[in-house]
A and B are shown apart, each in its own frame.
Chain A
């Protein structure tokens, strides 16, 4: 009994120390990311059930209807009834998936009534952020430590670099519990802006302005990456969003507004 509990503790601790073995989509911190997660799990479970049934029948057949067990082949080779049934049932299941999916999609694409607007512009290979109403604007690119470590033959142990490849010099700061509209465009080639825990991705395309909205419910730091191949350093243009309570955000804006104005006058 004692030994068993020790074994269990070891197993539990080894599982937690291997937190890297993440196998699923992270749960979100915004309504859109949560809705995507729920839909993902719903469809996943439906496919698992279908898979178990279909493969179950198939393996039953493989084990029982084999020649080595003396199985004699039956002669049936069609049945209109059965074929209609297994055309209609999947169709009904699909309708069952399409209803929640469409509802979620309509919710995600509704960018009305946003309180602040963040314009994101993709460059090779960095992001530019403009807070349209608050007059703050800056570039954000891979932080220096990651950048040094990622060079071919750098001899730096990337495991020791803080948030390797997912850290930037200037973080995006957004208020929590606020509907933020994000406008996306690009200056050179197509990029895509993605922070899994707060929103699905959308492309930033030259000549286009795409829209997204987020409403972050939990303060914290959320990381993401460019997800549209944009040239040699596509893998090295991360996104870091720091979500802070409203008052803190207002403070951050006033501080940075001043700084940027001062920068310009230099």
Chain B
């Protein structure tokens, strides 16, 4: 092992050290780590905002913040969690894993890789700085619906420019992922032999390239409406406020799958590893992922059933949305079939993956309910929707990221985390996530609208429970950080193949993996 480390040092003696090493790095592992640490930081900033929201909602009446600031918190919480915590986390995992999984030395476009990360800190510094403006940060919701978003203060151009930067960063990252996967696979690794995580990321990258420019277009039109006298979205000037919603959700729905497809890839990697059995229905998993991606471009208007579309439009979007249940169902059934007659053990990554399957499926069920247009007229913009998308994003996407970190941490660092603490982290997280988000179904059905800082007294009890859960969830994540640092302080002891049932090229490398993963490509049969 030590020879391995010497080897790394020798090979890279010309590299700058200290801060400059991280600023100038073109190495996929360094950049992957940057992405992951950045994502963790954003997760805590966005989480802190969520706790401000939950503290205010602990009881009816306004105790802590004024409504305007409350709206800034809901808006920023969403923007930071989506663009700052989740997307960078998945890009970080892609950076670490893709070259190792396909037998490549690094990503195809290393300088582009550096650039796509280093855009992020600037974009978020600008976004978060708007909170300190006299007129405050953005308060029209992360969806930025005009005409309300056009009423915003000075923050608006800064928010839009930072979203442009984030979009550029994502597109550069996606180009890199596609170039890497299509050009740098080990000899013999045909497309249908690629690890499933690689497949999900390839499809996600295409979604990013298709969706992000649409967002850029929509927000640029907002900008010209506000500052250059156009009226794309202003009714008084002949524009159409609903047009923005159509364009936004044409980006927004693929965006949702950008956040969940790589998570599917992670779960499809971890479940077979701890079931000691090959993934059931690899081919149908690939086809299901591709179908979900294609469907994501023809379902967007289910986010806006209440805008008064023609009946034919409502029926079309209801049917296409319901169709998504088919490929998603295939995935869940395949996971269950993978476990069936396996030989399972329940280490932390597996526990998070099992919780993912159950809780994500619950979020899928509420998604199916929301797809039913006549019922959606009742659910729309209530806490039922908040419960739904938090179920698919928190015990969905975030659980997958956490599972991936526990699963690959020994490969990245050569060090094993403390299994007992990992399990404690899992149980605390899973219990609190349900205490937080399950009651939101109830208050939503009972009639509590979302995005309100204060509520009628009959919603008090479940809101109190949700707030308690939220603080518990937040505290549990401090344990996660503790586990990470405790692991990093240990000596290198992890085996090359850290898990008995793990499969894939990354486990043929030493732990920690060498700086340039594969100097000579491995042969895959």
Interface residue ranges, A against B (CB under 8 Å): 18-26, 32-33, 35-37, 39-40, 43-44, 47, 50-51, 54-55, 57-58, 61-62, 65-68, 71-79, 82-83, 86-87, 90-91, 94, 97-98, 101-102, 104-106, 108-109, 149-154, 156, 158-159, 163-166, 184, 188-190, 192, 194, 196, 199-203, 205-208, 210-211, 224-236
CA distance A61 to B457 in the complex (A): 44
6 more A-B residue pairs beyond the given contacts A40-B378, A105-B373, A152-B66, with a C-beta to C-beta distance below 8 A: A36-B375, A40-B375, A74-B277, A78-B283, A192-B380, A234-B451
CA distance A50 to B326 in the complex (A): 13
The reply to whether A73 and B151 form a contact with Cβ atoms under 8 Å apart is: no
Query: Which chain A residue has the least Cβ–Cβ distance from B337?
Result: A82
The reply to whether B314 and A166 form a contact with Cβ atoms under 8 Å apart is: no
CA distance A22 to B308 in the complex (A): 30
Chain B contact-residue range equals 35 or more
Of the A-B pairs whose beta carbons lie under 8 Å apart in the complex, a sample of 16, sorted by A's number, is A55-B358, A58-B358, A76-B341, A78-B280, A78-B281, A90-B329, A94-B323, A94-B326, A105-B373, A194-B449, A201-B378, A203-B306, A206-B236, A208-B242, A229-B451, A235-B454
| CB of B340 to closest CB in A, whole Å | 5
The reply to whether A86 and B333 form a contact with Cβ atoms under 8 Å apart is: yes
CA distance A66 to B377 in the complex (A): 45
Segment from B81-89, B262-270, B364-372 that makes contact with A: B364-372
Query: Which chain B residue has the least Cβ–Cβ distance from A238?
Result: B456
A205 neighbours in B (Cβ, 8 Å):
235, 241-242, 307-308
Determine which of B71, B343, B375 lies in contact with A43 in the assembled complex, contact meaning CB atoms within 8 Å.
Answer: B375
CA distance A139 to B322 in the complex (A): 40
| CB of A252 to closest CB in B, whole Å | 26
The reply to whether B358 and A206 form a contact with Cβ atoms under 8 Å apart is: no
The reply to whether A228 and B381 form a contact with Cβ atoms under 8 Å apart is: yes
The reply to whether A98 and B319 form a contact with Cβ atoms under 8 Å apart is: yes
CA distance A156 to B60 in the complex (A): 11
Contacts A57-B336, A105-B314 given; indicate if A24 touches B445 (C-beta within 8 A): yes
| CB of B232 to closest CB in A, whole Å | 12
The reply to whether A105 and B456 form a contact with Cβ atoms under 8 Å apart is: no
7 A-B pairs with least C-beta separation: A200-B377, A207-B235, A235-B452, A210-B308, A77-B278, A74-B341, A47-B365
B65, CB-defined interface residue at 8 Å: yes
Contacts A227-B449, A230-B148, A233-B67 given; indicate if A62 touches B354 (C-beta within 8 A): yes
A109 neighbours in B (Cβ, 8 Å):
311, 314
A58 neighbours in B (Cβ, 8 Å):
336, 339, 354, 357-358
The reply to whether A227 and B311 form a contact with Cβ atoms under 8 Å apart is: no
The reply to whether A83 and B342 form a contact with Cβ atoms under 8 Å apart is: no
A202 neighbours in B (Cβ, 8 Å):
306, 308, 377
| CB of A60 to closest CB in B, whole Å | 9
Contacts A65-B340, A86-B329, A229-B140 given; indicate if A21 touches B461 (C-beta within 8 A): yes
The reply to whether B345 and A192 form a contact with Cβ atoms under 8 Å apart is: no
Query: Which chain B residue has the least Cβ–Cβ distance from A20?
Result: B458
A83 neighbours in B (Cβ, 8 Å):
281, 284, 330, 334
Contacts A201-B306, A201-B380, A205-B307 given; indicate if A51 touches B279 (C-beta within 8 A): no
The reply to whether A20 and B461 form a contact with Cβ atoms under 8 Å apart is: yes
Those of B457-510 within 8 Å (CB) of chain A: 457-462
CA distance A65 to B457 in the complex (A): 48
The reply to whether B315 and A102 form a contact with Cβ atoms under 8 Å apart is: yes
The reply to whether A65 and B362 form a contact with Cβ atoms under 8 Å apart is: no
Query: Which chain B residue has the least Cβ–Cβ distance from A39?
Result: B375
Determine which of B61, B242, B277, B325 lies in contact with A77 in the assembled complex, contact meaning CB atoms within 8 Å.
Answer: B277
Those of B50-67 within 8 Å (CB) of chain A: 60-67
B213, CB-defined interface residue at 8 Å: no
A23 neighbours in B (Cβ, 8 Å):
441-442, 445-446
B145, CB-defined interface residue at 8 Å: yes
B381 neighbours in A (Cβ, 8 Å):
192, 201, 227-228
B308 neighbours in A (Cβ, 8 Å):
184, 202-203, 205, 208, 210-211
The reply to whether B322 and A97 form a contact with Cβ atoms under 8 Å apart is: yes
B453, CB-defined interface residue at 8 Å: yes
